[in-house]
Chain A
Amino acid sequence: MCWPFTVLTALAILTDGLVYAAYLFLVAVGLTLIFGVMKILNVTHGSFYAFGAYGAAIAVGIYFDRGYPAAGGFLLMVLVACAIGLVLGLVLERGLLRLVYGKDEVVVVLVTYAAFLILEDVIQLIWGTNSYALYQPLDLAGTIDAGPLVLSGYDIGLVVFAALLAAAGSFALKHTTWGRLLTVVIFDRELAASFGINVSLVYTVTFVLGAMLGALGGAAMAPKISVTLGIGVEVIVLAFAVVAIGGMGSVGGAFIGALIVGMCRAAAVHLVPQVELFVIYAVMALVLVFRPQGLFTRAQPRKI
């Protein structure tokens, strides 16, 4: 069957946009949660991502090498990420962030940046300068043919996973008790505290959750990339940009923001490859011009 060129390109842009959007969303969702609830620009997010990737690459790599069933491998990726996120999140939040909560926002950002620098070298001390590969999930997922366009099963899986995560996140925030608690704290911390909500506990839970999501992003991406030093740095700006576009604390916003950037970038690569470098920043600038607080933001009451 002969595919007309424009239909093919349009299909490619659509699928590529979705895949890249899934990548961005997975990378950014943990950050937007932490940012929305705790108002902290968590630079250590890059470390969560990197640790998640390394953990998955090594643990799951060993799992597949031993020849255990495939489905378990995918489950293990999620478990490893959650475990790493739990440990790192707890250590950082209870151990470090707790000390600087009252201080200026910038100081808190710098504390997370300091933690990121230290963790970068910790990664090097633990795992050295070599790169690690986790190719089995990619192979196992197979391909789907759409004419000359071949789609990777793993990519499609990532899109589905991201969509499910977004749906689950939005649902949880609106309909579960904990979700509603988080939402209240996002709205107004002081008000929440005055209602008797244990804000400190909410903070810990949020940070750990954000850490787990960050590590999950890294674990999910590990099969596609070469897990090596420095992968954390690249995702920080991407995550920040998506959060800025989507609005603070909005899971739905992060999803829509990721979609917009993903589509624009895919279109750029296919049609005007030269501008790919600028796409995410141009989208962010454009969104912020029209919606200075991001796409989905709650009306802020003026406080005197």
Chain B
Amino acid sequence: MTRPGAAVLVTGATGLVGSELVAQLRAGGACVAGTSRRGSPADPEIVAWDMGAEQAPPALRRRWDAIVNAAANTRWTMGEAEATAANVASVRALEPLAGAGTRVVHVSTAYATGLRGSVESADPADYRNTYEWSKAHAERVARESFANLAVVRPPLVVGRRGDGRAARFAGMYTLVRGLTIGTVPAVVADPDARLDAIPVDDLGQLLAELATGARGGDEAVLTIAAGERAPRVEEAIATVAGALNEWRLAHGHEPVECPPLIEPERWRRFHRPFAQQHLSPRQLLVMQLLESFEPYLALSEPLRPDVEVRGVLPCLRTSTAYWAAANPRVAALEPRPWRSPTPSATAGAS
């Protein structure tokens, strides 16, 4: 049962997941403190702590009923050292704070099982990127470090179900942002692939229940996802583009085009070589960012959730609308045509 007044520490408390969890725990009566790398000027209960590089501040050395580790660097393009510091050393840094009775809830990822379907391998080749590799390592460390542990594995996380609110815009939002600034010529995806994304409040609710004891403690690892109910990529992209264009039309801007889907093999053989030769550094940089999505948009096998999420498409719609309202200058940009590199804008300046 929920214990009002339970002392809960949330790491990554200003991030997408952490900020939602802090709000839900406080609404439920828990006594919540948080950490983030920079702290929070708006919330004195959130202290600055670079978990991957420093020991815990003295203020955090007290008894905790629960610790939820929502701190992570979710960038898929990190080097191994950076990924280890951000996602593994941060778990070790929590060891001194967890007492014998502390419930630890570790936020992992639905893709931590990599290419082999297991978190046991230490070989980076068994994972799609260093993010997955480091999150698998983090799960192994957490298992060794904490006796009373629950691991939660979400896929992509978007804004709240009702209003789309999100504290940060990463992951799926990279596609939205690329679409808006006109740098997405195509989405490279398997036609059968699904885009599994869940609203942050559904994840926050599960984490809060696990932290406060409202949900039984006999489930060590839980995957929360839409699974077979996740929309296909084409449907998801059309929904995102539709929501963006609704906002644009309401604010007097022309709609952006919905990029076509290109199968990975066709992209690699024909389109990618052309892009590398003819695009500007700016366009190439964005293409590289978007290419990190490719392995996830080629997964035709749906995730198998322990906690099933429904109604993903409406969440994508509200999340996109919230992003546009929060970033009106970017959302309103006129799409820029794909073009060859421009001559220097400054070379002739005098």
Q: Do A and B bind each other?
A: no
Q: Report B's interface with A, CB cutoff 8 A.
A: none
A-side residues, CB < 8 A to B, are none
